[in-house]
Amino acid sequence: MVFSSNIFLFAFLPLFLTLYYLTPDRFKSLPILIGSYIFYAWWRVDFMALFAGVTLWNYVIYRFMSASDKHAKRFMVLGVAGNLVTLGVFKYFNFGIDSFNLLLNQMGVSSIGAMQIILPIGISFYIFQAISFLIDVHRKDAPHPKSFWDFAAFISLFPQLIAGPILRYKDVAEQFQNRTHTMDKFSEGAYRFMLGFAQKVLIADSVAPLADQVFALENPTLMESWIGALAYTIQLYFDFMGYSGMAIGLGLMMGFRFIENFNHPYISRSITEFWRRWHISLSSWLKDYLYIPLGGNRKGSKRTYINLFLTMLLGGAWHGANWTFVIWGAWHGTLLSIERALGLKGVNWPKIMMIPTLLAVIIGWVIFRADNVGQAFDMYRGMIGLNGVAVGEVFKWQMSYEALTFLIIGWLIVFISPKYLEFRSAIDGDSAMITNGYTKPIVSILTVVIFILAVMRLSAASYSPFLYFQF
């Protein structure tokens, strides 16, 4: 099930919220667990066994850790290793076999046969949450869950189950025990949900055909390549930001306050700043559970650069089992290392540095989107004009002016919205306009109207998946 579907909007969500609010506060983890399992099982019932198994594995490991201080670290390592093996098998088995067969073919040896394993949706996110739980409890950075039901509800919490934000138990543990349910918080959540829904359906889905059409071309020209690259840059941003906004909004409706996942990343003046603004929950997770354990910046300059590179390389691999993601991670790891070596963090850089930073991000998104490395380099050749300049007849025939219009609107929002928030902050003395905009009557009415238009558009379409489901 996805948020951008009629079954979710008009059946699942109203029924869940009704059951949730009718349940006494001390038992609210139970409807969360039941609702989340139904939400997940809507995709494939058979993968519920894996999901439940991961939950039980981590809870049993946690109990062993709690029962034995002497062996707690060993149990923690065992638990983390079990999670990583599970993620590795389901996410990278097919990739490993395919890469090995390619090597055999180049050596003139016949390929080996192997079954294909289906990638469970959301596995990267709930595995990361489970790992952070075990590590934080072992470090005594997180309180112990009051019950198995609270822990199971945390792992399965459906608003962020499929595509984040990546939650840490230490950030929501207190909320499981003592959270408020007010009309003000519910209204704020509804506003965030409607805003995120419109961003996904009206902008991301509208520009998606442009990206798909360009990346399908064999030799895209200069103009075609840049239209496709700019379209995907907008599509991914509004798709993922929209999902995160909906997840945060649903959490607020349930009394939870999740971490913000985006903070206008395309106005960054360096790659370092970009990763403070893009997918913030992942950036924070990689820093705390990978970069710092590797040594961070505590073991000299050279080791710092290596740690940055390895963190981003593994972060790229986390996104998917494809060499394109590995190269994308290496690209960002290299840029981060260069900025660190030069002592540049971009915070006080002139605004003109937004241009090369955004260009570097777009170059990275091309290989991130490409089906394979060859397709990415076809795009790169087009972007520097090696395949011609003008728009070809094939793409001109496919190109939608509606999609182009929303592409322009998307880029205008990217650059205008931060200025708008600064303007509102100067007037209202509130820098968090995005979270309290629902209190403004005009903003509320406009949001509802746009949401209705988005629902109408969704109803006219057959399916509206989220890009990050595949990661």
DSSP, collapsed to helix, strand or coil, labels residue 400 as coil
Torsional sign, CA 64, 66, 71, 76? positive
The DSSP secondary-structure symbol of 437 reads G
Report the DSSP beta bridge partners of residue 386.
388
Statement to judge: residues 86 and 194 lie in one domain: no
Distance CA 380, CA 386 (A): 9
User: Where a domain ends, among 178, 204, 220?
Assistant: 178
Confirm whether 93 is domain-assigned: yes
Q: Please state the domain count of the chain.
A: 2
Q: Smallest Cα–Cα separation from 151: which of 54, 266, 265?
A: 54
Q: Which residue out of 181, 264, 279, 319 is catalytically annotated?
A: 319
Distance CA 165, CA 141 (A): 20
Distance CA 346, CA 348 (A): 6
Q: How many residues are listed for the chain in this entry? A: 471
Statement to judge: residues 160 and 192 lie in one domain: no
Contact 246, 378 (CB under 8 A): no
Statement to judge: residues 93 and 190 lie in one domain: no
Confirm whether 458 is domain-assigned: yes
Residue-number span of the structural domain to which 159 is assigned: 6-178
Confirm whether 283 is domain-assigned: no
Statement to judge: residues 248 and 168 lie in one domain: no
Q: Smallest Cα–Cα separation from 408: which of 210, 176, 271?
A: 210
User: Where a domain ends, among 130, 160, 178?
Assistant: 178
User: Where a domain ends, among 146, 178, 210?
Assistant: 178
User: pLDDT truncated to tens, each residue of the chain (471 aa)?
Assistant: 788 888 899 999 999 999 999 999 889 999 999 999 999 988 888 888 999 999 999 999 999 999 888 889 999 999 999 999 999 988 888 777 777 777 777 777 766 766 677 888 888 899 999 999 999 999 988 889 989 999 999 999 999 888 779 999 988 989 988 888 999 899 999 999 999 999 999 999 999 999 999 999 989 999 999 999 999 999 999 999 999 999 999 999 999 999 999 999 999 999 999 999 999 999 999 999 999 888 888 887 888 899 999 999 999 998 888 899 999 999 999 999 998 888 776 556 788 889 999 999 999 999 999 999 999 999 999 999 998 988 888 888 888 888 999 999 999 999 998 877 776 666 665 544 444 555 567 777 888 888 889 888 888 776 666 665 555
Beta strands in 239-316 (DSSP E): none
Task: Give the CA count within 13 Å in the CB-facing half-sphere of 311.
Answer: 26
Confirm whether 437 is domain-assigned: yes
Statement to judge: residues 60 and 108 lie in one domain: yes
Distance CA 126, CA 71 (A): 25
Contact 87, 123 (CB under 8 A): yes
Is 181 in the active site? no
Confirm whether 333 is domain-assigned: no
Statement to judge: residues 171 and 190 lie in one domain: no
